Structure 1
Amino acid sequence: MHEICEKDDVREFSRIYQPCIYSVVFVLGIVGNTLVLATYIYYRRIQSMTDVFLLNLALSDLFLLMTFPFIAINSVHGWIFGTAMCKLLQGMYTINFYSGFLFLTCISIDRYIMIVRATSARKLRLKAAYYSKIISVAVWIFSILLTIPQYVYSNSILREGVYLCRMIFPEDVTKTVKGLTNFAQVILGFVIPFLLMVFCYSIITKTLLVARNFGKHKALKVIIALVVVFLVFQLPYSVVMFLETTDFLWSRQMSCTESKQRDYAIIITSSLAFTRCCLNPVLYAFVGVKFRREVLLMMKSAGCRARSETLKHLEGHRTSKRYSSSTNMDTSSFTL
């Protein structure tokens, strides 16, 4: 006989924890990633494949951030947005999950070619913009294709008086489809990109140490920091997903305490994985000297425009007052 596992404490923790975390990440992430896009639009020329991939990475993060208000509301009130929105938001998360790792992998490979295979890189430089656009489109299409199970099986269901947004599989394909879906997230979205990143950056590090070119070290700081943060913040969630999938496939029965611990782990590690969306711009600001300079220029130009508009407004106000006083001296008695 199965024991009844009450999870009111888990739900209460989620109601408090998730809205707080997602609200902070949403605000910081929107501001930070918008600054990244603005610097590319107004100040920085897209000169390399890495620029294109970093731009797409910022877009990917923004798409994910758009789902955060819905997740925060869901943690408090349950899923009140219906099945169509459930499918859409589940899909948006999964697309970002895959595309984020894939774009970081593309950045790693591009840096490998530019530094380790410099001769080949010179030949490709003229067509770099064309190739980067083709690769970016391919990444987005591949990520969308991997998201098909989320669009097909995600539904809004009623559980214990509360609607939840979950992937609901038919009974005859439950284990196979769910197992493949979860393993695809872990293997295609983490293991393979991680191995490629380790390979590329280990060879790059060896090449830089031999060349003793410290200027290239500075250029790599932002990229390496982005990859490390992505791995550190995504790894715990990938491990939890892997363990949950193996338990499911092996039909492992868990005690109530173990089930609660798994739920806490999913809540905390998933929010940790989301947090990286606001950390990428922070890394730009602290590590990337060029980005920091461009943000300061943008703020100065915005301040100059604001002062210019204010001076014009004041000058116009003075002119109108002089005109008013010279044409009709009595109008001042009717103003407050």
Structure 2
Amino acid sequence: MSSVTFTLDSDYFENDTDLPDLNTQPCLLVSLGPAVSLVLSVLLVATSALAIPGNLLVGWVIGTNQRALTPSDVYLFHLTAADGLLALTLPFFAVAFVRGWIFGDFLCKFLNLIMEANFYTSIIFLACISVDRYLAIVHTRGLQQSRRGSCSRLLCAVVWAVGWALALPALFNATIAVTLKDGSETWLCTESFHVGRPTAWRLATRVLRHVFGFVLPLVVMVACYGVTVAKLLHTRGFQKHRAMRVIMAVVVAFLLCWTPYHITLMVDTLLRAELMAPGCGVRGAVNVALGVTNSLALLHSCINPFLYAFVGRKFRTKMNLLLQRKFRRDKMSASRVSRSTSQTSEGAGTVL
């Protein structure tokens, strides 16, 4: 899921270390272009600038809550951690869009590993929240709050373990030096499979990404929220309408952010597997579309806090109380410092 300025189609040769001649096979290296690269770089920086403080604020409000956390609160806290960690990697890929990969082979693997792991954990936690809300609304008497709470913490550990396990193929990323047609040289941080056939490995890793990073979470969310909405339609009160609006916003945001990326990635996989044989123009268009949809999908990391927290009335109430409490505490602290300074000045005047 790394964002790079160029795409190198290494499926045409068995050994990734034996790079082909780009002058005789011009479709192997396709540039996004300086304008598109700059726009996507700015988009990644803006996403990171919004996601980091937004997720930190949500995590602070949840973490300082004096009452026992609900399972949804626990999942949301871990969701903000995953989105925040993912957002920390985005400035590096923003630089790669405009200057190529300048951070070395270790960071190429490490940052892609962090991005992939938190990509999986973030989406799986979204599915966990949908399941918990389904249990809380539809099966209110089926499970006790304490039992759900103890299970939620164990489930969080499982989700993190699964996310990092699914991200291990990111270690196949490596830096590759490429000489462009104008004679200049750039470095790429891209997939580089050295075990077996590159096409088979790429197909396997992308199937994992589609299934565990989109299809299964989407099925869980649609199923749980579908039953939840049906239950809310048979209840009375204004709260149900507010809950339904949040649910619809969550599902729509997920679909809008991630569907274009996964569709484009499927097309790119078919091209690399040579199941389709288009010209260089189509390859270039798919490469640009992949970079654009990838960057738009990452916007989900800064949308999550607004959907799950800021839209919720209870969260806004908690946040306002915490901010008021902190403001009063800071004001009292400043008042004490002022009185202490005043007393010190008076004492000094007496001595003189």
Contact 2:134 / 2:228 at 8 angstroms: preserved in 1? yes
Query: 1:221 Cα shift?
Result: 4.4
Cα distance, 1:47–1:303 mapped onto 2, change above 3 Å: closer
Contact 1:221 / 1:287 at 8 angstroms: preserved in 2? no
Query: 1:103 Cα shift?
Result: 1.1
The residue aligned with 2:76 is: 54
Secondary structure at the counterpart of residue 187 of structure 2: strand
- Note if 1:79 corresponds to 2:101: yes
Unaligned runs of 5+ in 1: 329-336
Output the amino acid matched with 1:21. L
The residue aligned with 1:157 is: 176
The residue aligned with 2:134 is: 112
Output the amino acid matched with 1:17. V
The residue aligned with 1:129 is: 149
Cα distance, 1:143–1:273 mapped onto 2, change above 3 Å: same
Distance (whole Å) between structure 1 residues aligned to residue 307 and residue 216 of structure 2: 24
Contact 2:222 / 2:251 at 8 angstroms: preserved in 1? no
Determine what percentage of the aligned residue pairs are the same residue: 29
The residue aligned with 2:167 is: 147
Deviations 1:184-227 (A, max 9, x none): 11122111221222122222222222234553443454454334
| Aligned pair partner of 1:198 in 222, 225, 236 | 222
The residue aligned with 2:6 is: none
The residue aligned with 2:182 is: none
Distance (whole Å) between structure 2 residues aligned to residue 223 and residue 53 of structure 1: 16
Cα distance, 1:53–1:292 mapped onto 2, change above 3 Å: same
- Note if 1:301 corresponds to 2:321: no
| Aligned pair partner of 2:190 in 162, 166, 189 | 166
Output the amino acid matched with 2:110. L
Contact 2:199 / 2:272 at 8 angstroms: preserved in 1? yes
Contact 2:232 / 2:244 at 8 angstroms: preserved in 1? no
Output the amino acid matched with 1:158. A
Secondary structure at the counterpart of residue 159 of structure 1: strand
The residue aligned with 2:349 is: 325
Distance (whole Å) between structure 1 residues aligned to residue 244 and residue 278 of structure 2: 45
Query: 1:65 Cα shift?
Result: 0.8
Query: 1:12 Cα shift?
Result: 0.7
| Aligned pair partner of 2:250 in 218, 226, 235 | 226
The residue aligned with 2:312 is: 288
The residue aligned with 2:285 is: 261
The residue aligned with 1:331 is: none
Contact 1:46 / 1:52 at 8 angstroms: preserved in 2? no
Distance (whole Å) between structure 1 residues aligned to residue 338 and residue 224 of structure 2: 58
Distance (whole Å) between structure 2 residues aligned to residue 276 and residue 46 of structure 1: 28
Distance (whole Å) between structure 1 residues aligned to residue 243 and residue 67 of structure 2: 16
Output the amino acid matched with 1:278. C
Contact 1:284 / 1:292 at 8 angstroms: preserved in 2? no
Output the amino acid matched with 1:258. V
Cα distance, 1:285–1:110 mapped onto 2, change above 3 Å: closer
Secondary structure at the counterpart of residue 102 of structure 2: coil
Query: 1:89 Cα shift?
Result: 1.1
Distance (whole Å) between structure 1 residues aligned to residue 28 and residue 273 of structure 2: 24
Cα distance, 1:48–1:224 mapped onto 2, change above 3 Å: farther
Distance (whole Å) between structure 1 residues aligned to residue 241 and residue 274 of structure 2: 47
The residue aligned with 2:213 is: 189
Deviation larger for 89-98 or 221-230 = 221-230
Distance (whole Å) between structure 2 residues aligned to residue 9 and residue 226 of structure 1: 34
**RMSD between aligned residues:** 2.3
Query: 1:174 Cα shift?
Result: 0.7
Secondary structure at the counterpart of residue 67 of structure 1: helix
Contact 2:40 / 2:97 at 8 angstroms: preserved in 1? yes
Contact 2:58 / 2:80 at 8 angstroms: preserved in 1? yes
TM-score normalised according to structure 2 size:
0.85
Contact 1:221 / 1:288 at 8 angstroms: preserved in 2? no
- Note if 1:42 corresponds to 2:64: yes
Output the amino acid matched with 2:314. K
Secondary structure at the counterpart of residue 84 of structure 1: helix
Output the amino acid matched with 1:53. Y
Output the amino acid matched with 1:292. R
The residue aligned with 1:20 is: 42
Contact 2:82 / 2:121 at 8 angstroms: preserved in 1? yes
TM-score normalised according to structure 1 size:
0.88
Unaligned runs of 5+ in 2: 1-22, 180-184
Contact 2:121 / 2:160 at 8 angstroms: preserved in 1? yes
| Aligned pair partner of 1:278 in 299, 302, 317 | 302
Deviation larger for 135-144 or 226-235 = 226-235
Secondary structure at the counterpart of residue 169 of structure 1: coil
The residue aligned with 1:97 is: 119
Output the amino acid matched with 1:107. I
